[in-house]
């Protein structure tokens, strides 16, 4: 079996219908939950399986002209620069057409590295007449030639399957990026890992923020309504492990407490958080994997 997997970024103005579309393609629960956390830097919004393809939807704040270098570094650090996805889908509202916001996004898209596949999805087609739609599609394609144009209604479900099937064929041949049994709660796992990562960064200041990754290895919903979460903090050098643990494990304990409190508040239920620190010397090599995908790791340094 040839599998495919890749990242797809849904972009568009606020209210364009990104969440609604995600709900359709991924499953309602995931999108609603992640919607609450625009401010966190967790990038993954959901994963859809379509045939033998795994489509990973990412958020892309700061994709277009981040105002400050810090924004760019934050975005890059959060999800290893995956803001640059394999496929970008621009959502435009049919009845609003080419607004100033859409123009700005188009400019950003035109500046993107060549070779990136960009598709257009005109959404909310239930709100306008056919002829107007065709004129809008033509206008947009004159401004930027899209690889493909879709007419959809995320809310009614029109055209959504076509879009998903097309994306499934566009993502590159690759092993799946996530185990199938983790797909449903993957965004939650990522968010929880990101929260722990943030506590580490706050606590350790400049010492090693970009040389570690946090992964949620296990997530168990308990009968009493609490969640047991196991996370591993990977550091690239043995020496870092000591810094992280601190004297008598003080540092890691404080980090764990702060992270647990934040995750519990986010989930709105008690959390048992178990942190483990492991040395993974080849962690930096994984950066190479992302560069292969056209992503820039230098931004996170
Ligand atoms: N009529 C119509 N309304 C839609 C359609 N898709 C989405 N909407 C509505 O548009 C509004 C915004 O949809 P969202 O999915 O929240 O938009 P979003 O792009 O995620 O918005 P932000 O999170 O603010 O960026 C909601 O009220 C949706 O119900 C559609 O196909 N037709």
249 and 148 in a common domain: no
Which tens digit of pLDDT belongs to each residue from 44-57?
778 888 989 999 88
17 and 75 in a common domain: yes
For 282, half-sphere exposure in the C-beta direction (CA atoms, 13 angstrom radius) is 4
Residue numbers of the domain that contains 223: 185-300
Residue 242's pLDDT is 87
User: Is 176 among the domain residues?
Assistant: no
123 and 11 in a common domain: yes
Distance CA 175, CA 164 (A): 19
| CATH code of the domain covering residue 264 | 3.30.300.20
User: Is 175 among the domain residues?
Assistant: no
Q: Kindly state if the Cβ of 23 falls inside 6 Å of ligand 1.
A: no
Structural domains of the chain, count: 2
CB contact set of 13 (below 8 Å; sequence gap of 6+): 93, 99, 101, 102, 105
Residue 159's pLDDT is 97
Query: For the chain, which residues score pLDDT lower than 50?
Result: 35-42, 62-82, 288-301
49 and 145 in a common domain: yes
User: Is 204 among the domain residues?
Assistant: yes
User: Is 190 among the domain residues?
Assistant: yes
Burial class (CB within 10 angstroms; exposed 0-12, middle 13-18, buried 19+) of 129: exposed
| Ligand 1 centroid distance, CA of 262 (Å) | 29
Picking from 170, 199, 227, the residue at the C-terminal end of a domain is 170
| CATH code of the domain covering residue 62 | 3.40.50.300
User: Is 285 among the domain residues?
Assistant: yes
Q: Which atom of ligand 1 is nearest to the CA of 91?
A: 19
241 and 157 in a common domain: no
> Does residue 13 have a known ligand-binding role?
yes
What is the 3-state secondary structure of 50-76?
ECCEEEEEECCCCCCCCCCHHHHHHHH
- What ipTM, to 2 d.p.? 0.97
Residue 250's pLDDT is 94
> Does residue 14 have a known ligand-binding role?
yes
Residue 39's pLDDT is 37
User: Is 177 among the domain residues?
Assistant: no
Residue 104's pLDDT is 80
Distance CA 271, CA 281 (A): 30
């Amino acid at each position: 079996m040839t599998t495919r997997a890749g990242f797809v970024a849904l972009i568009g103005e606020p209210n364009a219908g990104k969440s609604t579309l995600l709900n359709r393609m991924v499953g309602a629960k995931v999108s609603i939950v992640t919607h609450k956390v625009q401010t966190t830097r967790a990038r993954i919004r959901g994963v859809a399986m379509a045939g033998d393809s795994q489509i990973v939807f990412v958020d892309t704040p700061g994709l277009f002209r981040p105002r400050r270098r810090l924004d760019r570094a934050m975005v890059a650090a959060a999800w290893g620069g995956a803001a640059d996805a394999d496929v970008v889908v621009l959502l435009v509202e049919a009845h609003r057409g080419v607004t100033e916001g859409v123009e700005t996004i188009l400019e950003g898209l035109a500046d993107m590295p060549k070779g990136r596949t960009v598709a257009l999805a005109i959404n909310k087609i239930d709100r306008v007449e056919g002829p107007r739609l065709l004129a809008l599609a033509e206008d947009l394609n004159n401004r930027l030639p899209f690889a493909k144009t879709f007419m959809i209604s995320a809310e009614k479900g029109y055209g959504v399957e076509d879009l998903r099937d097309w994306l499934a064929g566009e993502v590159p041949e690759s092993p799946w990026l996530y185990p199938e049994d983790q797909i449903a709660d993957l965004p939650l796992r990522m968010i929880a890992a990101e929260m722990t990562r943030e506590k580490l960064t706050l606590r350790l200041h400049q010492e090693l923020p970009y040389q570690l990754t946090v992964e949620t290895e296990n997530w168990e919903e308990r009968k009493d309504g609490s969640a047991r979460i196991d996370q591993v903090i990977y550091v690239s050098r043995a020496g870092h492990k000591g810094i992280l643990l601190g004297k008598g494990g003080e540092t890691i304990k404080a980090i764990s407490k702060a992270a647990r409190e934040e995750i519990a508040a986010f989930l709105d239920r008690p959390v048992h958080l178990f942190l483990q620190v492991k040395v993974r010397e080849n962690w930096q090599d994984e950066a190479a994997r992302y560069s292969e995908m056209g992503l820039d790791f230098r931004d996170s340094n």
